[in-house]
Amino acid sequence: CTLREQGLFRGLQEHPMVLPICSRSGDVVEYLLKSQWFVRCQEMGDLAAKAVESGALELWPSFHQKSWQHWFAHIGDWCVSRQLWWGHQIPAYRVIGENAERSLLLITQETV
């Protein structure tokens, strides 16, 4: 049963979009969803903001204090696993056994 048949169709309109094309091959680039690693930054941001407020950290020139406070008031988590072409590597490994629901995350002294 279609939307038109049910009387739910509200119209059709153009929707411009960007279709990413590979500069080398001319193929359409298809994005792949991958698991990402994030570092929580809120606590660090709160400490950085409080350090300036309390005078433990002095910014010079002082007009930077407003942007400092704004930055740390709106801080987000840091994605450390972005797939960058220059190849940052995270010293952690996921081992997936026969049961894909059970996986083991390894971060060892040697990898850090």
pLDDT at 7: 92
Q: How confident is the model at residue 18 (pLDDT cuts 50, 70, 90)?
A: confident
- Helix and strand tally (H, E) in the chain? 3, 4
What are the tokens at 6? 């049910």
Give me the residue spans of the domains in the chain. 3-106
pLDDT in tens, 41-95: 999 999 999 999 898 988 888 888 899 999 999 999 988 777 666 666 666 666 6
Task: Check residues 4 and 38 and name the one with the higher pLDDT.
Answer: 4
